[in-house]
Amino acid sequence: MIQNNASVVVLIVNWNGIEDTIECVNSICDSNFKDFELYIIDNNSQESDSKTLKKQFGSNDKICLRFYDKNYGFTKAHIKIFKEELITKKFEWLLLLNNDVTIDINCISNLISHANTNHLDITSSKMINYFKRSEMDNAGHRVISTGEIIPIGSGQNVDEFD
């Protein structure tokens, strides 16, 4: 059973990506931040994904598994879980993660500290290339006047973005 009123609710959507999802969830559970509730939303994956999620995480009291009967996509799955369950919960922060990321041991603590220190309501972390750990994926995005979204720092050295 999931705990009540953790300070951080983490949402991960899985759709036929069980290996990535397991790695992502393990990185969260291994982080130094422990005051979280984690929702894994399965968007009607193959049956083997559902079975694996139940086997891997079904007995973890910090993790809530939800299995949808169709693929709602990333955004609609988040809206659905929020309306069905999170709207009545008390939490300070909501962390949305793609299932194909792993987080640093200090990631959640650092995000919260940065947000609190700078009086922010929303923040983002730098994204490091999974296969080239010294290279940035991005440090956010810039929207230009044409509406095009340009990643900031893509391909650059991670040390240039703190």
- The mean of the pLDDT values for the chain is 94
Residue 153 reports pLDDT greater than 60: yes
Residue 80 reports pLDDT greater than 80: yes
From CA 148, how far away is CA 126, in angstroms rounded? Answer: 20
Per-residue 3-state assignment (H helix, E strand, C coil) for the chain: CCCCCCCEEEEEEECCCHHHHHHHHHHHHCCCCCCEEEEEEECCCCHHHHHHHHHHHCCCCCEEEEECCCCCHHHHHHHHHHHHCHHHCCCCEEEEEECCCCCCCCHHHHHHHHHHHCCCCCCCCCEECCCCCCEEEECCEEECCCCCEEECCCCCEHHHCC
Residue 1 reports pLDDT greater than 50: no
Percent of the chain with pLDDT over 70: 98
From CA 71, how far away is CA 14, in angstroms rounded? Answer: 10
The pLDDT value recorded for residue 4 is 59
Residue 3 reports pLDDT greater than 60: no
- What are the residue boundaries of the structural domains of the chain, listed by start? 8-117, 127-160
Burial 23-59 (b: 16+ CB within 10 A, else e): ebbebbeebebeebbbbbbbbbbeeebbebbeebbee
Indicate the pLDDT class of residue 74, thresholds 50, 70 and 90.
very high
From CA 120, how far away is CA 114, in angstroms rounded? Answer: 8
What is the arithmetic mean of pLDDT over 22-46? 97
* Model pLDDT for residues 93-125, shown as the tens digit of each residue: 999 999 999 999 999 999 999 999 999 998 888
Residue 57 reports pLDDT greater than 60: yes
The pLDDT value recorded for residue 122 is 87
Supply the pTM of this predicted model.
0.89
From CA 80, how far away is CA 74, in angstroms rounded? Answer: 10
CA 26, distance to chain mean position in Å, is 12
CATH 3.30.420.40 assigned to domain 8-117? The reply is no
